[in-house]
Amino acid sequence: MTTMSENRDIPVSGGRPDGTGDQWSAGAGRPLPPPASGSQDRSASQPPAASGPASGPSREAPPDPGTTPGLPPAGGTRAVTDPPPVPVPPVTGPTGADVELIRRTLAEIQPVADKVTGHFYALLFLRNPELRDLFPAAMDTQRDRLFGALLTAARHAGDPAALTAYLSDLGRGHRKYGTRAEHYPAVGECLIGALTRYAHHTWSPAAETAWVRAYTLISQIMIDAAAEDEQRSPAWWQAEIVSHELRTPDTVVLRLRPDKPYPFRAGQYTSVETPWWPRVWRHYSFAGAPSADGTLTFHVKAVPAGWVSGALVHRARPGDVLRLGPPAGNMIVDHSTDNGLLCLGGGTGIAPIKALVEDVAEYGRRRLVDVFYGARTDQDLYDLETMLRLERTHPWLSVHPVVGDGCPVRAAGLTGQVPDAILGAGSWTGYDGYVSGPPGMIRSGVHALRRAGIPPDRIRHDSFETISDLQAPALAGE
C-alpha cells in the first residue's frame, strides 16, 4: 500500500556548497553527521573531483572537507585516483525513542507550521544566497513542499520500508532541480535551526539527536537513490505537446512526445514544468499504460489561480515543449495475484485508473475490474466515453459512473459519492483497492474500502497531498 502519500514537488536544495559557516547557530549544538558514501561509491566513470570524493548526482567540485569540523562532504561517487575509501559505518536510523521525540516536536510545531517553514527558508537563503535560483521565483507553494517533505519523512522515521520508497522517489526527482549531495547537510542544519527556534517545550539534546539521526537517514536514502538513478536515467526529459484536446472548458487531455524513451509503469505519475513558469513543477499521473509509440497522456484540470494547470489548459498548444521529471509512485497493479481490482476515481483522478485498466488488459490475465468514476455532474465525467469504450472491449471490466445527488445521470449511473456507492454495492473481499482523486475522496475512499472487506495492505492510493501529515497542501493539477 502506498501508505505514505507523496508530497512530491520538493526541491531539497540549498545549503552552502562549501559546507562552511554558522551551522547550528540557531541553537543546535552539533553538526549533522555526513551522509555515508554508501551506494554512491560505485562509479569509476565520474571525472576526478578537485579534491576528496566527488559529489553524487552532480559532477561539480565537492565542498572542502576540511572547512567544517564534523561536517565532511556528503557521499558521492569516487574518482579512480582517490585513496581507498575509509569504511563508513552504516547509517543508523532513529530508534523507537527517537520516533517518539520526533512526534512530540511535530505536534508542538504544528500550530505554527507557517512560521517554522518561513524561518527555515529564511535561514536557508540567508546562508546560501547563491542557491536561491534553484527555487521558483515565487515561493509560496514551493516552500511548503520542501519543509513538508522533510516533516513527512521524519514522521515516518519508524517505518523504514515506506520511508525508503518515498525518499527514493524524492531523491531521484531532485536531480532535475540540480540538487547535489553536498547540499543536504546544510539543509539539515536549517531544518534543525528552525525546529530549535519553535519547538520550545519539546526540544532537548535527546530530541536534537533524534532529529539528526532521522535527517541523516533521510538524506542518505535520497542521495543514494539520486546517485543510482544517475547511472541510468537523465535528470529530466523534454516533451513536445502533440495534441491538446479540451474536454470541458477547464479540463484538457494532453499527449506528449518525449525526446528520449520514457520508461514508466501504469499508475505512476511524473512532474511537469512549463516554459511559462520556470522551476515550478507540478505532478500529473500518466493517463494510460506505456504506449507503443512512446507518447504520454495526461489529464489536466485548470484550478482557480493555478499557474501551471491554467497554462497547460488555456495557453499550451501543440508544438510547445515541456520538461518532465522521472516517474514515481507505487499505485501499480500487483500482477502476482488474481484478485479483482476495485478502482475509485474522482475527477481527473480517473487518469491513473484508466492506466491501470489498460495495464490489466495488456497483461492478458482476466481479472475482474470494477471502476467507480465520480464527478460532480454528468458533464464533469469528461473521460466517461473512453472508459465505456474500454468496458465494451473488455468483458471483465465494469464502469460505474457516479454523480452528485440531485444531478441528472445517464443510464446505469449512480448518484451520491463514490465511497458510498461501493459500500452500497456489497462486499469486495477478494479485491485489491485503488483510489485516486481529491484528498478528501481518498480519505473516505480508503475508509470505505476497508469497511468493504479489503485489508489495508491490499489498498493503494497516491495522493498529491499528504493526507495525515502536517504539511500544507501540495496539489497535483496545481
Closest by CA position to 19, among listed 63, 80, 83: 63
Contact between 387 and ligand NDP by CB under 6 A: the answer reads no
Give the number of residues in contact with ligand NDP, rule: CB under 6 A: 28
Q: H-helix or E-strand containing 226?
A: helix 205-230
Which region among 48-56, 70-78, 424-432, 433-441 touches ligand NDP (by CB under 6 A)? 433-441
Contact between 375 and ligand NDP by CB under 6 A: the answer reads yes
Minimum gap (Å) between residue 250 Cβ and ligand NDP: 9
Contact between 477 and ligand NDP by CB under 6 A: the answer reads yes
Which region among 106-114, 359-367, 386-394, 431-439 touches ligand NDP (by CB under 6 A)? 431-439
Which residues in 291-305 are b (16+ Cβ under 10 Å) and which e? eeeebbbbbbbbbee
Minimum gap (Å) between residue 478 Cβ and ligand NDP: 8
Spell out, one character per residue from 143 to 172, where the chain touches ligand NDP: x when CB under 6 A holds, - when not. ------------------------------
Closest by CA position to 313, among listed 340, 274, 343: 274
Q: For residues 435 and 441, is the Cβ–Cβ distance under 8 A?
A: yes
Instruction: Determine the Cα–Cα distance for residues 285 and 272; give it in Å rounded to an integer.
Output: 10
Select the residue interacting with ligand NDP from 136, 349, 401, 413 (CB under 6 A): 349
Select the residue interacting with ligand NDP from 352, 401, 413, 433 (CB under 6 A): 352
Restricting to residues 251-280, name those near ligand NDP by CB under 6 A.
none
Select the residue interacting with ligand NDP from 374, 401, 413, 433 (CB under 6 A): 374
204 versus 243: smaller Cβ distance to ligand NDP? 243
Minimum gap (Å) between residue 317 Cβ and ligand NDP: 19
Select the residue interacting with ligand NDP from 169, 438, 466, 469 (CB under 6 A): 438
Q: For residues 7 and 146, is the Cβ–Cβ distance under 8 A?
A: no
Helix (H, G, I), strand (E, B) or coil at 322: strand
Q: Using CB atoms, what's the residue nearest to ligand NDP?
A: 347
Minimum gap (Å) between residue 420 Cβ and ligand NDP: 8
Spell out, one character per residue from 285 to 324, where the chain touches ligand NDP: x when CB under 6 A holds, - when not. x-------------xxx-----------------------
Minimum gap (Å) between residue 359 Cβ and ligand NDP: 15
Contact between 347 and ligand NDP by CB under 6 A: the answer reads yes
Bridge partners for 281 per DSSP:
273
Select the residue interacting with ligand NDP from 65, 118, 234, 404 (CB under 6 A): 404
Cα 300–Cα 296–Cα 285 angle in degrees, nearest 5 = 45
Contact between 348 and ligand NDP by CB under 6 A: the answer reads yes
Instruction: Determine the Cα–Cα distance for residues 286 and 359; give it in Å rounded to an integer.
Output: 12
Contact between 444 and ligand NDP by CB under 6 A: the answer reads yes
The grid cell for 176 is 532535475
Contact between 5 and ligand NDP by CB under 6 A: the answer reads no
Closest by CA position to 328, among listed 284, 371, 370, 277: 284
Q: In what order do the strands lie in the sheet with 414-415?
A: 414-415, 397-403, 369-375, 340-346, 431-436, 459-461
Contact between 401 and ligand NDP by CB under 6 A: the answer reads no
Q: In what order do the strands lie in the sheet with 281-285?
A: 281-285, 269-273, 321-324, 237-248, 251-258, 296-301
Q: For residues 284 and 268, is the Cβ–Cβ distance under 8 A?
A: no
Minimum gap (Å) between residue 298 Cβ and ligand NDP: 6
**What residues have CB less than 8 Å from 97, skipping those under 6 apart?**
206, 210
The grid cell for 311 is 497554462
Pairing of strands 369-375, 397-403: parallel
Instruction: Determine the Cα–Cα distance for residues 165 and 146; give it in Å rounded to an integer.
Output: 17
Minimum gap (Å) between residue 353 Cβ and ligand NDP: 9
52 versus 438: smaller Cβ distance to ligand NDP? 438
Contact between 356 and ligand NDP by CB under 6 A: the answer reads no
Q: For residues 70 and 23, is the Cβ–Cβ distance under 8 A?
A: no
227 versus 241: smaller Cβ distance to ligand NDP? 241
219 versus 436: smaller Cβ distance to ligand NDP? 436
Cα 401–Cα 403–Cα 405 angle in degrees, nearest 5 = 140
DSSP summary character for residue 310:
H
Minimum gap (Å) between residue 348 Cβ and ligand NDP: 4
Contact between 459 and ligand NDP by CB under 6 A: the answer reads no
Q: H-helix or E-strand containing 373?
A: strand 369-375
366 versus 376: smaller Cβ distance to ligand NDP? 376
Cα 7–Cα 57–Cα 80 angle in degrees, nearest 5 = 155
Instruction: Determine the Cα–Cα distance for residues 120 and 254; give it in Å rounded to an integer.
Output: 37
Contact between 475 and ligand NDP by CB under 6 A: the answer reads yes
3 versus 216: smaller Cβ distance to ligand NDP? 3
Instruction: Determine the Cα–Cα distance for residues 421 and 296; give it in Å rounded to an integer.
Output: 31
Which region among 51-59, 225-233, 344-352, 450-458 touches ligand NDP (by CB under 6 A)? 344-352
Residues binding ligand NDP (CB under 6 A): 284-285, 299-301, 346-349, 351-352, 374-376, 404, 417-419, 436-438, 440-441, 444, 464, 475-477
